[in-house]
Amino acid sequence: MNDLDPCVFVLFGATGDLTRRKLTPALYALHREGLLPKDFVVLAYARRDKDDLVFRADLKANMAEFAPSIPLDKWDSFEQRCFYVRGEFDSPEGFAALRTKLESLDTETNTHHNWLFYMAIPPEQYEGVVGHLGAAGLSRRGMTEQGWARVIVEKPFGYDLETSRHLNAALLEHFTEDQVYRIDHYLGKETVQNILFFRFANEIFEPLWNHKYVDHVQITVAEKIGVEGRGNFFDATGMTRDVLQNHALQIVSLVAMEPPVRLDANAIRDEKVKAIRGIRPIPREDVHKLTVRGQYDSYRHEEGVPPGSDTETFVAMKFHMDNWRWAGTPFYVRCAKAMPKRTTEVAVQFRAIPQVLFAKMKRDEVQPNVLVLRIQPDEGIFLQMGAKQPGPDMTLHPVNLGFLYRDEFKDMPIADAYERLILDTIRGDASLFARGDEVEAAWKLLTPVLEAWKERPHDVQPYFTGTWGPEKASTLLEPGQTWREP
Ligand SMILES: NC(=O)C1=CN([C@@H]2O[C@H](COP(=O)(O)OP(=O)(O)OC[C@H]3O[C@@H](n4cnc5c(N)ncnc54)[C@H](OP(=O)(O)O)[C@@H]3O)[C@@H](O)[C@H]2O)C=CC1
Ligand SMILES: O=C1O[C@H](COP(=O)(O)O)[C@@H](O)[C@H](O)[C@H]1O
């Protein structure tokens, strides 16, 4: 056991997809590994007529469906920690009953009035639930002497700049920013966290990490799958809102940021928000030159997608950075579904050599160095170098230096991102969570682009499933640059 604060994990959305697919396995895995606080209980607040026993059976069924490989050897002790209270989201009486239940759990289970509220619910319900928590005295804004209250909010954090500001204001009416944990599950991925370690624990790369040595950076978030039955949700959202605004921009900020003054939540997030603010706004007249949208061929036949939909399943953007470190080094970001493979990577392409020694070779025979941070799958880091191919000729051959997590950390499987992030909320460490100003900075950059796209809906280019997207994406690149095939 550990010295984490005891607490109650109050779950809103106990029957939802996120709870079934992600939260149940993560909570149980943490319990099984002995990583939860000794005194820790899960309390679901939901509208369906159930009791503790039915709720526990449902959780067990989630494990069978979504995490069958995790042994249930410690299930009995886990389910003893799980409770259910019935209530509506719009009922003050329901929230009063929740308060009574919390207080009785605090006494019975020694959870010290520490409450963690998880919003695994549709975003349109956030404001109402948070308001009721405030009205019932559960948010305990600014009160610390009686234990802590924290709220975990799931993406999307708004739909554009205005709605994100509205959501932040609604949260801050009842909680302080320090109490709010906005989850972006990419930040819980081991290899995304490793971007920070790789950059700031290795002296050799930091001097090269700037416009003088880096020609450009490519960030790819590619999924092999299409919308997989989520057509309704996805068609109203699109790839830009679903992935680029959050996951991809979080990666951009970690790659582009300056070293934080210390490794704490606000110092890290101060630098990340500066990095996002450093991206040059895309003027309306340049939107069609700096962004490309695509849609995979069978998208309009997916369930829930209207026949004439112009929603993008592929998006690529070119970002110029208006800061000292990256001036003149573009960042290319592409996020897409129905790609040839599932892969997320950062490729830092260094500048070409001056060509003096190899003047007789064609330019593209001397490939510039590329550093690839592979975030998933086959997590690892590779540095592409040029080496002499054995033999009588002076032939250059690209080779890789690198490591794979699965070889290097054999007995340390990579945990699911939700495990790490839930643990951090209990620890009270918000380093891997998006702060309100970061989210707003991202929307400030993208909202004008989304607005401009509305005027040119037919710019969405078709592409074949299993290809790297529309040809037009290459028009974003500068001469001599090509999109990588990860
Ligand atoms: N699913 C995923 O993989 C991911 C989800 N998210 C985010 O997580 C959140 C939840 O998503 P997801 O689980 O997919 O959503 P679901 O629609 O599957 O689940 C919603 C949950 O909220 C409950 N709920 C909705 N309205 C009410 C209401 N008026 N009163 C009481 N309960 C209500 C539902 O209860 P009931 O069963 O009674 O209707 C259900 O438990 C969303 O914000 C989503 O964007 C983020 C990343 C990934
Ligand atoms: O948030 C989301 O992310 C997933 C991709 O996550 P990954 O961990 O599998 O890379 C994406 O499929 C989904 O549309 C989006 O909402």
Residue 328, amino acid: G
Domain shared by 119 and 199, yes or no: no
- Please say which residue of 154, 179, 206 terminates a domain: 154
Q: In terms of domains, do 236 and 318 share one? A: yes
Answer whether residue 185 is part of any domain.
Answer: no
Question: Residues marked as binding for substrate?
Answer: 185, 189, 223, 242, 337
Structural domain includes residue 438 = no
353 plus 231 within the same structural domain: yes
Alpha carbon distance 453, 476 (integer Å): 16
**Strand positions, DSSP E, 127-278:** 149-154, 180-183, 214-222
For residues 76 and 11, membership in a common domain is answered with yes
Checking if the pLDDT of 12 tops 60, the result is: yes
Residue 81 lies in a domain: yes
Catalytic (active site) residue 247: yes
Instruction: Check whether residue 130 and residue 234 sit in a common domain.
Output: no
Question: Within its chain, how far is the Cα of 462 from the centroid?
Answer: 27
Give me the pLDDT at residue 41, please.
97
Determine which one of 113, 132, 216, 247 is catalytic: 247
Domain membership flag for residue 306: yes
CA of 1 to the centre of ligand 2 (A): 32
Cβ–Cβ < 8 Å for 435, 276: no
Do 70 and 212 fall into the same domain? Answer: no
388 and 287 belong to one structural domain: yes
Residues 127 and 235 in one domain: no
Q: Which residues in 14-108 belong to E strands, given as ranges?
A: 40-46, 82-86
Structure-block tokens of residue 470: 């529309």
Supply the angle between the helices 126-135 and 92-109 in degrees, to the nearest 10. Answer: 70
Q: Which two tokens stand for residue 223?
A: 């999924």
pLDDT band at 363 (very low <50, low <70, confident <90, very high): low
Task: Please indicate, yes or no, whether residues 212 and 264 belong to a single structural domain of this protein.
Answer: yes
Q: What is the CB < 6 Å shell around ligand 1?
A: 13-18, 21, 46-48, 88-89, 120-123, 125, 154-156
- Percent of the chain exceeding pLDDT 70 equals 99
The single residue listed with the structure tokens 């996120």 is: 18
Question: For residue 1, is pLDDT > 70?
Answer: no
State which residues form the domain around 16: 7-154
Least confident of 26-40, 287-301, 358-372: 358-372
Domain co-membership, 131 together with 36 = yes
Confidence of residue 143 (pLDDT cuts 50, 70, 90): low
Residues 136 and 212 in one domain: no
pLDDT tens across 229-251, in order? Answer: 899 999 999 999 999 999 999 99
Task: Among 191, 242, 245, say which to mutate for ligand 2: greatest number of ligand atoms within 8 Å of CB.
Answer: 242
Buried b (16+ CB within 10 A) or exposed e, 149-178: bbbbbbbbbbbbbeebbebbebbeebbeee
In a domain, 390, yes or no: yes
Please report whether residue 37 resides in a domain: yes
Report the SS3 class of residue 443.
Answer: helix
Query: Burial of 246 by CB count in 10 Å (0-12 exposed, 13-18 middle, 19+ buried)?
Result: buried
| Nearest CA-CA partner of 245 in 451, 440, 454 | 440
The CATH number of the domain where 257 resides is what? 3.30.360.10
Q: What is the pLDDT of residues 202-232, one digit of tens each?
A: 999 999 999 999 999 999 999 999 999 899 9
Q: What is the DSSP letter of 237?
A: T
Could you tell me the CATH number of the domain that includes residue 83? 3.40.50.720
pLDDT in tens, 34-50: 999 999 999 999 999 99
What is the total count of domains within the chain?
2
Confidence of residue 466 (pLDDT cuts 50, 70, 90): very high
Q: What is the pLDDT of residue 373?
A: 97
Whether 230 maps to a domain, the answer reads yes
Predicted pLDDT of residue 361: 77
Residue 114: the pLDDT is 94
Which residue's structure tokens are 């019975």?
A: 108
Pocket of ligand 1, candidates 15, 18, 58: which has the most ligand atoms within 8 Å of its Cβ, to mutate? 18
**Ligand 2 atom 15: the closest Cα is on which residue?**
242
For residue 178, being part of any structural domain is answered with: no
Same domain (yes/no): 260, 136: no
Q: What is the interface pTM, i.e. ipTM, of the complex?
A: 0.98
Of ligand 2's atoms, which has the minimum distance to the CA of residue 376? 10
CA distance 481 to 164: 35
Buried b (16+ CB within 10 A) or exposed e, 336-372: bbbbeeebbbbbbbbeeeeeeeeeeeeeeebbebbbb
